[in-house]
Amino acid sequence: MEVKEFVKIIRRMCVFYKDCLDCSCRENAFCSSSNMLSDDEAQEMVSNVEKWANEHPAETNQSKLLELFPNLKLNANGIVDYCPKAFGANCNCMGEYVSNDGAFVRDCLGCKNKFWNSEYKVK
C-alpha cells in the first residue's frame, strides 16, 4: 500500500471509529496519531489498515448513483455510461486530443472513468 493511500484510509478509519475504542489499530495500545511506532508495530498497523480498507471500501460517485438508480446503463468497463455533467457535476472534460483524422475529440471515456470512480464526498 502506498503511503498516500495509507494516510487517506487511516483518516477514514479515524472518522469511522470516532472514539477509537473498536479500532484495530488500538488493540496493541498504539495509534498512528499518538505514538512513535516500532517497525513491527508499523507493519501491523499497515496490515490492519489494509484489512479495514478491504472490509470498508470507499463509496464512489458511481456506487452512490447506482444506489438510487440501479439499472443505469454501464459501459464495457462497468462505468456509468453518462456524462457527469448530465447529473449536475461541476467537472471539466479531461482534455482534447487529435484523432487519426486530425479532428479534435474529447476524452469522454477517461473523464467518465475518473469522475465515476472518484470517492464520493458529501457536500
Instruction: Write down the domain spans for the chain.
Output: 3-55, 61-116
DSSP 86: G
Which pLDDT score is estimated for 69? 94
Examine the pLDDT at 30 and tell me if it is beyond 60: no
What would the pLDDT profile of 49-74 be if each residue is shown by its tens digit? 889 889 998 899 999 999 999 999 99
Using 50, 70 and 90 to split pLDDT, how confident is the model at 33? low
Distance between CA atoms of 39 and 44, rounded to whole angstroms? 9
Mean pLDDT check: name the lowest of 2-6, 15-19, 25-29.
25-29
Distance between CA atoms of 32 and 50, rounded to whole angstroms? 14
